[in-house]
Amino acid sequence: MTHFLQLGASLYVPATRGQLAAIGNRQKYPHLRSVIFCTEDSIRDQDVPRALDNLAVALRRFEAADLLRFVRVRNPAVLRALLTMEGVDRLSGFVLPKVTCRNLDDYFDVLPEDSAFSVMPTLETVEVFDPRAMLALRDRLLQDRYRRRIVSLRVGGNDLFNLLGLRRPRGRTVYDTPLGPTIAQLITTFRPHGFNLTAPVFEYLNGTNLLAREVENDLTFGLFGKAAIHPEQVAVIESHYRVRLEDLQAAEQIQDERAAPVFRLHDAMCEPATHGNWAALIHERARLYGVRGTALDPSVLGHPALRSATSYGGM
């Protein structure tokens, strides 16, 4: 499943802010692919009622829009309150904070079985540092009751830093910190079983070059999707979701049913049997985000002009 690729850079918006309807209708930020209205860490306990009042008004005003709308709930009680609101069906789903095996059913018992809501559980508790706990959570999430709703898992970087008594240092990507090995462990635990993971938020607003480098590392590690805390981060993040032309050419040839079992392209070995999943993701990313350094319209994917002159053959 590649529907997680549609998330792009998800703009996080505290639900206490104004103009929620304008944002949710893509009037304020028309370039957004997804938005997450937050009722959790970004607001204070005493502001939860105001956040819910804001959301109640916004939900009634949401119109059809090519935008994925999520609410990051604070707890199962907030989820229950949202589900009673008029217009809640205009949401795509919910982000579930601090998910563990212990509280998983507290959230899922609230969701109506016949509803179409998607969920994004967030991995951001002390259990994340325990490989056995993550294996147990993965095995639970693979059960159909949970798996069919999950569009992605989210890595809560700031909560994990907080548990370590750290803050991401300026000038360093998250992969240059103790969370780097933890993220790698999460990838090898969940990704082979079909779960996408989104990358931790980048919390500095004046480090565009570093943000760009971190997004490249996100992709190298196998994470797709990233929370944006400012609208200007969205374009930076999504520009790196555009694929390289040579990668698209390789993906097209790997997916070609006439492809040899192994062939050389751009001085690299291509092997459809082992590169097929990568090729499918690259092709879908190109369709959604385009190709770097070109004005390539997604509608021309598969055009012969994209194909390299290199013929199929041995290494």
Domain ranges of the chain: 3-239, 245-306
Q: Residues 284-301: what's their mean pLDDT? A: 73
Q: So what's the pLDDT on residue 2?
A: 56
Task: State yes or no: pLDDT of 63 exceeds 70.
Answer: yes
Average pLDDT over residues 50-75: 97
Specify the pTM. 0.89
What is the per-residue pLDDT across 251-292, written as a single tens digit (0 to 9) for each? 988 888 888 888 887 888 888 888 889 889 999 999 999 998
* pLDDT over threshold 50, residue 303: no
Residues 6+ away with beta carbon under 8 Å from 202: 174, 210, 211, 214, 226, 229, 233
Cβ atoms within 10 A of the Cβ of 315, count?
9
Rounded CA separation 195/120 (Å): 11
**pLDDT of residue 198 exceeding 80:** yes
Contact between 233 and 31 (Cβ < 8 Å): no
For residue 24, the SS3 value is: helix
Which residue stretches of 178-243 are H helix?
179-190, 208-221, 231-239
pLDDT at 130: 98
* Whether pLDDT at 116 is above 80: yes
Categorize the per-residue pLDDT at 295 as very low, low, confident or very high, splitting at 50, 70 and 90: low
- Rounded Cα distance, 45 and 1, in Å: 37
Domain 3-239 listed as CATH 3.20.20.100 = no
d(CA 58, CA 150): 24
The mean predicted confidence, pLDDT, of the chain is 91
